[in-house]
Chain A
């Protein structure tokens, strides 16, 4: 495959790919009608899509540093937007977001606002300038702008802490889906997931990850939107749910009034399986204080602008101008999924709780609910549970419990959609988790191979040796992540939100001030990164060990504290020490001008 030609033919290539995927869905639907088993369909979906990604990964293999680290800097804006969207939307976004909205309502919506609003900061403060800089990795920018190995190393440490927190959750998600779809033990499924992830990235680095991520975006967005439109139409809620669910939202409010939120006793709740929750919060009413909402949104926005695996996607565009536009496209493709999640939550909740609908279970007798097929399936899968607390024989709102994942996974089945949709959803979840894991593992491996090995240990290393180290690190980091994921301590390490808090504590201000404040110097940046990360870890440990916290900053928003410490430390130390030399100041001037060669001279 000739490179130039491939880039020119992108719309055609991915057009054929999309058509082929839709053809595959239809083929599976026909298979289902002809008696193909549910399990076979699930296996076919997951295996087929993974095979395609691996093929793309193989075709994109490269031996050049520029292609391996930044995809040759020739990814067109729209395609980079799709790749970023896949990079960004994790297994958690795909499987858990609608569930979070379903259970927590307004308080959870701060994440939607935060995870989109952050892209404004990316577009205005950072992406175009880092693109002009011409670096390979985020620590590369810190190391060159501030100078010195210590600053570079600290940036690598912050990157690793944040990205590794994030990646174990992603590998865990690939393992969960692989174990369900392929029907193998989770302990082995994690490694099946890992091998699939590595197949995409090992041979071609960033170039391979870019083109697989575009393919993964197409799968995940079809898998997310198709069921929502289908369910909405089937329920008669409206053919375009996003604009037509106002009555359904109002109806849920009415039902909440009618049923009331009855509080269960602690003894009753103790009988509910772990991880399942009941509906205890209003669907569309404001149920959080302004500060609780705003602080969470703010932490997620600043975290978005500090996560290296997202930032490095904008190093791959052909120009500074393209980097800016590409951020817009990224957010557009993210918006397609995020704006649909609340619609799915609404449809899912209404179909379960409205007694006037045939799918509604609230108000039915226990015997009746227990005889429903889909209830039995999801009850067995430990994602649904009912218990007659008040002993009246009918199911009340407070007696029905569900896992967050069930909103995405079970709603198609509840609405009576064919099984082929469930297979599609599994493939979509796999695509979402794999694409994010690939981006994260690559970010860590590239930072260590480029910044630690090449820039600090062996600056004379040849390209072949550098890429060998990069690939070896990819495998090592992947296995480390999978091993931790297999230990299933996800409750602690899997918190995606912590990654945002760590990233913003250590990297937000050193990155932003590196461009926007000429006076920022090495000592300041070192203080900012070290104290920012240290203080955020201290605050998290303190709150988790029973500390009360202050200013309403919780274990979800501790990055606000870390970032504030980082800013103060960076400004004070910078002003107390010498201003950066002439060469550095000139470098900052050059970064601010879009035209001309990159600052690193490539």
Chain B
């Protein structure tokens, strides 16, 4: 397998992990919205309410930065990183 193929394989598995986390917090948890809202969560808000106001949104922000860093590591590993910018 060539260097580029290995790079793409790792990139793809990172995509699947990222999308799995995305799926949980954008779709998965809302299957149990009614039950989850009965329980008190962060800062005293009901859990479902908190997720829709802040939780899921905040997790998405962190997830993108985490993904970007992991992808940069993968690019460096295979020598595909870009030199000097930002």
Contact = CB atoms under 8 A, between A and B. Distances in A.
A125 B26 contact: no
Contacts of A286: 33-34, 37, 48
A504 to B, nearest CB: 15
Contact of B49 (A123, A249, A319, A593): A249
B39 interface: no
Nearest to A322: B86
A294 B27 contact: yes
A339 B60 CA distance: 12
Give the interface SS of chain B, mostly helix, strand, loop or mixed.
helix
Interface stretch (A106-114, A375-383, A432-440): A106-114
B43 A119 contact: no
Contact of B46 (A117, A243, A284, A342): A284
A593 B7 contact: yes
A512 to B, nearest CB: 11
A128 to B, nearest CB: 8
Interface residues of B, number: 46
Contacts of B68: 123, 321, 324-325, 327-328
B71 to A, nearest CB: 6
A332 interface: yes
Contacts of B75: 321, 594-595
Interface string A289-307: 0100110011001000000
B71 A324 contact: yes
A328 B57 contact: no
B33 A594 contact: no
Interface string A61-82: 0000000000000001100000
Interface string A235-247: 0000000111111
30 contacts: A106-B49, A106-B52, A109-B53, A110-B52, A112-B52, A116-B56, A116-B61, A119-B60, A120-B22, A123-B68, A242-B54, A245-B45, A246-B43, A246-B44, A249-B45, A249-B49, A286-B33, A286-B34, A290-B31, A290-B33, A294-B30, A301-B26, A317-B86, A321-B72, A328-B64, A335-B57, A589-B4, A592-B7, A594-B75, A594-B81
Interface of B: 4, 7-8, 11, 15, 18-19, 22, 25-27, 30-31, 33-34, 37, 43-46, 48-49, 51-54, 56-58, 60-61, 63-65, 67-68, 71-72, 75, 79-83, 85-86
Interface of A: 76-77, 106, 109-110, 112-114, 116-117, 119-121, 123-125, 128, 242-247, 249-250, 284-286, 290, 293-294, 297-298, 301, 317-322, 324-325, 327-328, 331-332, 335, 338-339, 342-343, 589, 592-595
